[in-house]
Structure formats: structure tokens, C-alpha cells
Amino acid sequence: MKLHKSKAVNFQKDKIMKTLVVKSTIFLSFLFALMSCVNDDTLEHLKVTTVKTLYAPDNNKAVKLESSASANILFEWEQAKAEDGGLVMYEVAFDVEGGDFSKPIYKLTSDNNGTYNYATVTHKTLNKIGALAGLNSSETGNIIWTVFSSKGVNEVKAEEVRTMTITRLAGFAEVPTDVYVTGEGSEGGADVSKAIKFKAVANGEFEIYTKLTAGKKYHFADGTNAAAKTYFADGEVLKENGESTVAKTGVYRINLDFTTGAVVYTEISKMEIFFAPTNSYLFELPYVGQGVWKAASQPITFKQEGWGRDERYKFRMTVKEGTEFEWFGSVNGDNSRPNNSTPESFWYMVPVSGDQWNNCFKFAGEIDNSLSDVSVVFQADNSYTHIIKKVGDQ
């Protein structure tokens, strides 16, 4: 029997296709089996031992949380071992009293990106954990904690669980969206419409640079009208409905944390511009108000080096009556000279180290051998920044 030519071709194609399907199926089955073996073998070598003993803090330790930024507790435990002999990763887990850690209320990695067998936990973090456990502000109650060890997978819970009793900070249930300072002792005076706004730096946290007058009352408010809620500083504790005063007239950085009920005052005694090429200070910028320091008509001359003119600078703030210093510079480790197309973000100021060269800005070329106005602007509605203008330029 003869097949039509087209039918013969189709028959041959079908035969080839069936053969390919069979071979592909066999190959894929082999590949999946191989991958399964590899995965099983790999996962087998990612196993770690359980942490057998928790070292610190002691079981049933009672802690009254503090608002200080330096307040913390060390959590420490016995090291686990990895089957492959490599590093073990750790997480500290917290749960409500009676919980089984199947769904911890909070987990955090240990120090050094999870590789150390201890974790430094701030009181502020513990306060957050207490809130997640259902404790109200200033309330005392229990939480439990343990440690999970792993290689990134196959995590195992420690054999021991410990209890901690904490007394939460006196934070506020309702955190304001905006905060202002007003009153006779403030820069804006008693007219609430002239109140000066804080900068929101995190959820429930606010910061302002402002001048306060000794012996005159001021307070904080969540608005600029008579119906606004008011707050005041009772030492280092933030409370409602009252007035504050300072003993010394000066420029202060005020930090409010409504989540912990904390107030921190830092006196700012000096703002200077640091010139890296000579490792010295060009001049001081006097405080002029509204979070602004400004030095007018100041001479600026670059330093001649063998390779050219060096123009690098940043700023140093003197705090706490001259006993401490804070540095502000560029977000970049190094920069090029700015020009007309340089974005505004070039001048943004962030906390940096006191290293002579790193994170310095560079003056524009036209500033060399000229008189310039230099302003530092730390205000609420903008990024902290600075402005340098050659005298005579608009």
C-alpha cells in the first residue's frame, strides 16, 4: 500500500515528534532527580545544632526601660555549630508570655549582621516589643525570648526560653503629625501663629534647632491655633499641658520622641567651616535665627598644591559648652566642584566623621579669592543644607 507523499511526510514528522517527547521526558526526569539529589545534599549540609543554653540576661530579669539613646541590654547565648563547619546565623525572637514562637511578635539579627552569638538590644527596641506584646505606656509586664540558629534555612529554636519583665516608657498613644515650639521663651514669642516647626525625623520623633531665652516660658504644640494640644519637658520626660524654661539663653537642638516620652536638649555653642587643605577653620558662622547660621562677606582662598587649587571643606558644630563636637558634610565621600547644573542635593548636609578629607564638599571655582556669604540652614520643611554665594552675585 502506498502512502500519499504528504501523508508520508506527516507520518514521519509524527514519529520524530513522539521520539523527541519520549527522550525529553526521560531527560527531564533525570534532571529533576539529579537536582533533587543536589538539593537534598546541599540542604543536608546547611543543618546547624540548636542553641542549648542562654547566658544573658538572667531569667525573670526585671528592666525599667530608659529613654537614653545609650541604654541597651546584651542578649548572649551559647554558640551553635554548623554541619559544614561554617558560620552560623542567629536571630533573637520575642513572643508574648505563653507563646510558642511559631509566630514571634518580633525578631532581630544578632550583632555583626547575625554572625555573633550576642545581640545589643536598645531599650527603645524593647519598648516597641512591649507595645507589640500589648503593654500600655508605663505599664509593667512579661515578654519571653529565645534564639534561632540557622544557615539561612532550616532554622532551629534554642532549647531554652527565658522570661523578661519590662516597664514600658511613658510614650503617647496618639503621636502628633506636626510639632511646634511657641511661647515667650521661644524665637516666635507668645504669638502661636509664629510658632516654629520641628522637623519630623522618624515616626513619632521630631527635631529642631532654635534659640531659647532663659527664665521665659515656652511649650510644644501639635498645631498653631488655640485648640492645639500642648506638651512640655519635665526634665527628660515629655508630658502634656504645661510650660518649660531653660536656665541659660542659647541655641539648642531639641529632640522629642513621642513613642518613648523622651526629651533631649543639646546646647549648640558654635558652628564653624572647616578647610581640609590646611586642617583649620576659616571662620565661625553666628546664629541668626530660625535654624540658620550665617557669616557675611568672608574671604575664601583655595590652597595651591602641585596639582592645582584645593577647595575642600565641611562644617563642625561645637556642643555641650565646648566639650563635644559634631561634624556635618556631604553624603558623598568625595565630590567635584559644583557648577550651574549641579543639583540642590549637592549641598545637603549629613552627620559625618571628623576625618580631615572624607565627605568634604568643594567650593565652586568662582569662590576662590573672593568675599562670600555662607549660610547653614537646618529647618523643618527641607533637607539640612547650606548656601554659599559670592558677594555681588544674585
Q: What is the pLDDT of residue 169?
A: 85
The pLDDT of residue 5: 45
- Residues of the chain with pLDDT > 70, as a percent, come to 88
H or E stretch at 111: helix 111-114
pLDDT, mean of residues 128-143:
92
pLDDT at 337 exceeding the cut of 90: yes
Q: Which three cell numbers stand for residue 223?
A: 498645631
Average pLDDT estimate for 49-58: 97
Residue 23 has pLDDT above 80, yes or no: no
Over residues 293-309, mean pLDDT: 97
Q: Which CATH number applies to 54-167: 2.60.40.10, 2.60.40.60, 3.50.50.60, 3.40.50.1000? A: 2.60.40.10
Residue percentage of the chain with pLDDT more than 90: 75
Of 5, 122, 14, whose CA–CA distance to 68 is shortest?
122
Give CA–CA dist 88/313, Å, rounded: 44
Banded pLDDT at 14 (limits 50, 70, 90): low
- Does 33 score more than 60 pLDDT? no
Q: What is the pLDDT of residues 141-200, one digit of tens each?
A: 999 999 999 998 889 999 999 999 999 988 887 789 999 999 999 999 999 989 999 999
What are residue 355's phi and psi, to 5 degrees?
-55, 140
- E strand or H helix that includes residue 295: strand 292-300
Checking if the pLDDT of 19 tops 70, the result is no
Q: If we measure between CA atoms, which residue out of 15, 121, 7 comes closest to residue 65? A: 121
147/136 Cα distance (integer angstroms): 26
Residue 20's pLDDT is what? 53
Check: CB of residue 300 under 8 Å from CB of residue 326: no
Whether residue 7 has pLDDT greater than 90:
no
Closest CA to 135 of 50, 211, 71, 64: 64
The angle formed by the CA atoms of residues 366, 372 and 374, to the nearest 5 degrees, is 115
Q: What is the value of pTM for the model shown?
A: 0.66
* Structural domain spans, the chain: 54-167, 180-247, 268-390
Rounded CA separation 284/290 (Å): 18
Phi, psi angle pair for 187, to nearest 5°:
-65, -35
Q: What is the pLDDT of residue 300?
A: 97
The predicted structure's pLDDT at residue 373? 97
The CA distance from 219 to 192, in Å, is 10
> Per-residue confidence at 25, pLDDT binned at 50, 70, 90?
low
pLDDT at 98: 95
Binned at pLDDT 50, 70 and 90, residue 27 comes out as low
pLDDT of residue 2: 43
What pLDDT sits at residue 157?
A: 97
pLDDT above 90 for 322: no
Among the listed ranges 51-60, 259-268, 302-311, which one has the minimum average pLDDT value? 259-268
Task: Categorize the per-residue pLDDT at 138 as very low, low, confident or very high, splitting at 50, 70 and 90.
Answer: confident
Q: pLDDT confidence of 32, banded at 50, 70, 90?
A: low
Burial of residue 245 (CB within 10 Å: 0-12, 13-18, 19+) is middle
Mean pLDDT in residue range 237-245 = 92
Instruction: Look at residue 136 in the predicted model and tell me its pLDDT.
Output: 84
Question: Between 267 and 34, whose confidence is greater?
Answer: 267
Mean pLDDT of the chain: 89
